[in-house]
Structure 1
Amino acid sequence: MPTTTRIANDFLSIEVSALGAEMQSATTRDGANWLWNGDAAFWSGRSPVLFPIVGKAPDDTLLIDGKPYPMAQHGFARRREFSLEAADESACRYVLETSEETRAAYPFDFRLIVEHRLDGPALTVSAEVENRGAAPMPFGCGFHPAFVWPLPGAAGRPHTVTLDNEGEPERQPLEKGLLLPQRVPSPFSGGRLTLAPALFENDALVFPQGAGTGLTYAADDGPALSFRFENLPNLALWTKPGAPFLCIEPWHGTAALYDGARELKDRPYTNVLAPGARERFAFTVTFPA
């Protein structure tokens, strides 16, 4: 079994696995766990980090400079064992670096640093990507945390997602995991979306732009989780209809376009990192105190 690291303060206790540097639990001081438990009957993930792609590639194959490489949905980082670089009571930092296995799917020299850090009732999860090679490095990066639905103590209450910017971003539908080119009207009204399982019958709700840099996931007259996003312009919401979780997914990069370009560098919102450069992506979630 992969090793885990626990960080804690007076408000929160967080457990992180070396496998994927993935958060396993998020427990407040009242004993409530706000993170999905990974029940494989629905979905075995809990809070995977997405790298070097977000979403799906056609036929699970990427083209990089015209050469095909195998790449499963959301990339390989979530399936790789990370090394613990540093840990103290309030933070832990895991690292994944290039190996023969990663080169077989992604021919770049990289360093991926994933940190979980507590500050009072807030948790910040960050990913820093470094290009250690001599060529420009295309990639996508994102987060896929799943929180319980209903929230603790809020069974039977309507749940909502409310955008800080009060926006009504257009949605881009998926077909076989790939983005269709058309946009459809927003399910948000004045920045507010009331959640219902039927919304997810055709896969995730993907908002390529316009969702802003923060939102609140809440039960009516009940508990709420507040989110802030850093360098993550794309947003998706997802669950399996009838499953007791909601994924709030801030991304920089999306799935490939259906019948679109297959080159990694041409995927929507792909980053291209110069040799020696680094880029940081992060989300902060604040729990009830």
Structure 2
Amino acid sequence: MELELKHGDRTARVETLGAELVSYRDGTGREYIWNGDPAYWPGRNPLLFPIVGGLKDGKIHVKGKEVSMERHGFARRQEFTVAAQGEDWAELTLEQNEATLALYPWSFKLTVRQQLTDDGFVTSVTVANTGDEPMPFCVGAHTGFRCPLDEGESFTDYEIKFPQRETCKTLVPDGEGMDWNRTLPCLEDTDTLPLDYHWFDQLDTLIFKGLKSESVRLVSRKSGHGVEVSFPGWPMLAFWTMPHKQAPYLCIEPWHGCSAVAGEGPELADKAFCITLAPGESRTVSYQAKTL
């Protein structure tokens, strides 16, 4: 089921499957969210929970048992309940059920709030531990933005702009996961990364840990149009488009967790940047997109 949101002359649609914001249009009707064309990638804006990325051999230990879980977890495949809705916002919730307990044996309440603003939207995710034992989880965003946004432009007309000059290598994933020591030079005392498909054809995903910046702009050098994404408090940031497809979108992904890292322990709680909540505790993370 889709929900319609409106804020002035700006509109959005939210899908109850996965609690995704699947469309955002500004006052001119310009669409910012990728449309999910399966020729490139059928996703649009999935929520990553309770893992981010893939597991080593697709498996993880939870409470002494080995379980399999698909890449990025199960939340994106689950139907959320509409808890509350206003003209320009909606709150959707997911709680444990038979399917989730088979993979992730904890009681939880996952609340996603999609809120329109004067110039964009805010996505907030609250994870609550409703059980009686510590609960580990990872969480991430995976928002696909159309790139290019306007006719007559190309993907390579766009660049990623950081508010601070950055010197940061990108992690190099492979079939076994990642290694903090396996990196490639990427940002070298610069605030600008021109988009080029060769990065994604070579690496699949650009993954950064330790950025000074807490926001980033995806902007056209031709028109100046684009989007600014703010992600304060998120320890990792990734950029992705389907390799070898010349795909017309870019995903901007704040992460609290990542794929398997060499040397990590077998338990979910051992994963990098995993959050563990005490019984009754909750944690909210959010990111904001502003149109340019």
Q: TM-score, normalised by structure 1?
A: 0.94
- After superposition, residues 75-114 of structure 1 pair within 5 angstroms as 75-114=73-112
For the aligned residue pairs, the C-alpha RMSD in angstroms reads 1.6
Match of 1:181 in 2: 180
Give deviations 1:91-134, integer Å, cap 9, x for gaps: 00100001111000001011000011012012001100001111
Q: Shift of the alpha carbon at 1:249?
A: 0.3
Match of 1:50 in 2: 48
Distance 2:233 2:151 in 1: 33
Higher strand share: 2
Give deviations 1:238-276, integer Å, cap 9, x for gaps: 001311110000011111114642211111111111111
Match of 1:194 in 2: 194
Distance 1:91 1:168 in 2: 38
Q: Structure 1: which 5+ runs fail to align? A: none
Aligned pair partner of 1:226 in 228, 232, 236: 228
Q: Shift of the alpha carbon at 1:210?
A: 1.6
Distance 1:11 1:166 in 2: 35
- Greater shift, 151-160 or 122-131, is seen at 151-160
Distance 1:141 1:195 in 2: 26
- Greater shift, 209-218 or 275-284, is seen at 209-218
Distance 1:91 1:274 in 2: 29
State the secondary structure of the residue aligned to 2:110: strand
State the secondary structure of the residue aligned to 1:150: coil
- Check whether the contact 1:170–1:183 (CA below 8 A) recurs between aligned residues: no
Q: Structure 2: which 5+ runs fail to align? A: none
- Check whether the contact 1:173–1:182 (CA below 8 A) recurs between aligned residues: no
Letter in 2 for 1:235: L
Aligned pair partner of 2:242 in 233, 240, 243: 240
Q: Shift of the alpha carbon at 1:180?
A: 2.6
Moved segments of 4+, more than 3 Å: none
State the secondary structure of the residue aligned to 2:183: coil
**How high is the sequence identity, in percent, across the aligned residues?**
32
- Report whether the alignment pairs 1:277 with 2:277: no
Distance 2:9 2:171 in 1: 38
State the secondary structure of the residue aligned to 1:115: strand
- Report whether the alignment pairs 1:12 with 2:10: yes
Q: Shift of the alpha carbon at 1:225?
A: 0.8
State the secondary structure of the residue aligned to 1:74: coil
- Check whether the contact 1:162–1:215 (CA below 8 A) recurs between aligned residues: yes
Q: Shift of the alpha carbon at 1:151?
A: 2.2
Aligned pair partner of 1:151 in 149, 152, 158: 149
Distance 2:68 2:110 in 1: 20
Match of 1:208 in 2: 209
Q: Shift of the alpha carbon at 1:191?
A: 2.2
